[in-house]
Chains A and B, each alone.
Chain A
């Protein structure tokens, strides 16, 4: 935002620029103010301008007797006024404010209205869900010391979220001048909790419905969740526009996906000792599809003759036998 102080003839005698969402500009007689006015009708700390994320300015009166006016209207004492541009009167001094306002999209409005309002609740819920998953995984292994293992699982989950949130909050601090810790905790923890619990539930469903493809769908859903979380982090922490944020989030998701793939399956995909046993068995789980008939299954096993031959062809194409000229 650009703040200009007008002289007696209306010509600007002072011009100052403020950048970055959250940046504040204090106006008053006090020498500690960002704009010091030589005006006996102004208070030592008279008004506070805060640059908002969408580029507009929040004008607040700091409890003065005379009040602060915007375009002639008195600013309400409690909430202040939000303006794109206008003339602010502090005592008898006139200050012109200009901004570059970009209208907010619905997604930002939602974040602003809903997420920001409930950020404490959301952050707490997300963190609890993640810690619970960490503990649940430890509990599933039925460890000898339940308390120690579950605590360990919870702490690991907590530590990971703290590290991740810290990185993004720091970026926000550097770009916007404030930390936004709860917002980033919300994004990180809810994203992670959805992925973790969702994947576990997908395993259950894939056995119950005998639908192994659901695991692949689950992996795709995790990819989408990661993309969205990255996008939101970037939008909160940086000045990137929508497209740029989306492109960066997409790239990061691809890189993380590739690394996860390599960790899970290795670079070589021709591991001759890997077997796919199918969905994990859930004892006593209700199953919604009837069992296969043994003769149907054995007929399906016959297809393995061809499938194995295809694998052999693939193997021979990759690495031909040394003397295959016959």
Chain B
């Protein structure tokens, strides 16, 4: 899905969601901290919400909308959650000014704070360089330490000594499409803010679970709670589609309890920087084993001009035939593109566990073979690779002329390693079919942030499926 790709486009520095609570009533573990309850005047909408959860009653919903004033509603939500939400700020070394900031909120016993992994990623990956602090609604500040991270779901649990806030209740089920929702956080460092919108259910066909929220989310709100009509946390603000309008994404709250179960001692103090990076790598590899390494029931291929081109080399691959302008008027190109979006962000600007495959069949319409081969070579060399020297090392390459199924090809394989994550590699495989003077295959497989073994296995599957049956 195109949308899934866009999700990666803009991540908010921000906060997270809370542990799933029993559906009916959230237990309030700390006696002195009353659970956050909607004020009495909100009872009517709450009642409506319950009805909605069961199966929305349209007439009742109309009545609800007619009976309440929206702005007042948001104010009530914000007041109820105000004390539970903190701003999370990261500082470089002893610096007084923050390097990054996001949001977070108290859950469970009120001592643990949920936020996004990407809000605290710098502190996880460079624990000697960055420190975290919270800023509570009453102006208190203090150091935070990291208890647990979930890279796949972009969640983290942090805590501060002697900090106990009124916890928010969690709601584990996904809001129905059209349900009213609110998001709270500190957008662009402008102070505590609430936005109002509509939850649109889970994003379809997405590998990672996200609720689609139609409402404003901005940088700095990451990690902030996403609330339903009863003031329960149904998810954590995580990202928006940049350049579009009000398309935001929320991590469902159901992923919080398992993480809380793991959140015991501060991992950023017990583990070395290297061990923390290995932990991040291990989570990426576990995700990848599920998504990239899985064998499809049947390896699907698409046949174009006699070439059998691998498409479904993993069950999660999506394909499309894109309209690509030909490099030359006398060369026609048919393109099949397939991909798994790189949805896992391990570091700012570094998304991993992605796959992209592009097969292009070129046909000469009257070019001299010397002219045609020039077009083929320039197309094979055309892809611009992206990667920053801050994050990855240089490629190492091997090329050879190899006999594949039914045709000969030059295969060039290039591999590079991540600087921070020794277990992650980028693979870049280019295949150029060399047998015909009027028709050529230029195919490329690119893998982002995979283990070497997964990369090689995927590459073998890809090469094994390429065929020419003219």
Contact = CB atoms under 8 A, between A and B. Distances in A.
Interface of A: 139-142, 144, 210, 212, 270-284, 287, 289, 291-294, 297-298, 300-305, 307-312, 314-316, 319, 321-326
A121 B440 CA distance: 43
Nearest to A276: B397
A272 B392 contact: yes
A270 B389 contact: yes
Given A140-B371, A291-B403, A308-B393, A301 B413 contact: yes
Contacts of A323: 126-129, 273
B398 A301 contact: yes
Given A280-B373, A282-B373, A312 B393 contact: yes
Contact of A139 (B371, B385, B389, B436): B371
A39 to B, nearest CB: 72
Contact of A301 (B370, B389, B403, B456): B456
A207 to B, nearest CB: 8
A78 to B, nearest CB: 53
Interface string B438-451: 00100000000000
B393 A314 contact: yes
A74 B245 CA distance: 104
10 contacts: A278-B412, A281-B432, A282-B373, A283-B369, A287-B401, A304-B413, A305-B415, A308-B396, A311-B393, A322-B128
Contacts of B411: 297
Nearest to B442: A281
B11 interface: no
A31 B279 CA distance: 101
Contacts of B374: 140-142
> Top 10 nearest A-B pairs by Cβ distance?
A278-B399, A307-B396, A323-B128, A326-B272, A315-B393, A273-B385, A312-B393, A312-B417, A277-B412, A304-B415
A280 B459 contact: no
A275 B417 contact: no
A278 to B, nearest CB: 3
Interface of B: 126-129, 272-275, 328-330, 367-377, 380-381, 384-390, 392-404, 408, 410-420, 422, 425, 428, 430, 432, 434-437, 440, 452, 456, 459-460, 463
Nearest to B375: A142
B437 A298 contact: no
Nearest to B386: A273
Given A272-B416, A273-B384, A311-B396, A144 B329 contact: yes
A276 B402 contact: no
Contacts of B275: 326
A152 to B, nearest CB: 17
Contacts of B274: 326
A287 B402 CA distance: 12
A56 B392 CA distance: 68
A322 B99 CA distance: 16
A298 to B, nearest CB: 6
Contacts of B413: 301, 304
A283 B129 CA distance: 54
A276 B399 contact: yes
A283 B367 contact: no
Contact of A281 (B380, B394, B400, B403): B380
A287 B435 CA distance: 11
B401 A291 contact: yes
Contacts of B397: 275-278, 304
B403 A294 contact: yes
B410 A272 contact: no
B420 A321 contact: yes
A316 to B, nearest CB: 7
Contacts of B459: 301
B373 to A, nearest CB: 4
Contacts of B412: 275-278
Contact of B367 (A142, A277, A326): A142
Given A273-B384, A274-B394, A307-B396, A315 B404 contact: no
Given A284-B436, A326-B273, A275 B428 contact: yes
A278 B388 contact: no
A303 B388 CA distance: 24
A275 B395 contact: yes
In this complex, the member of A140, A212, A302, A319 whose beta carbon has the largest number of chain B beta carbons within 10 angstroms is: A140
A303 B375 CA distance: 31
A298 B371 contact: no
Contacts of B329: 144
B77 to A, nearest CB: 41
Contact of B400 (A140, A142, A300, A305): A300
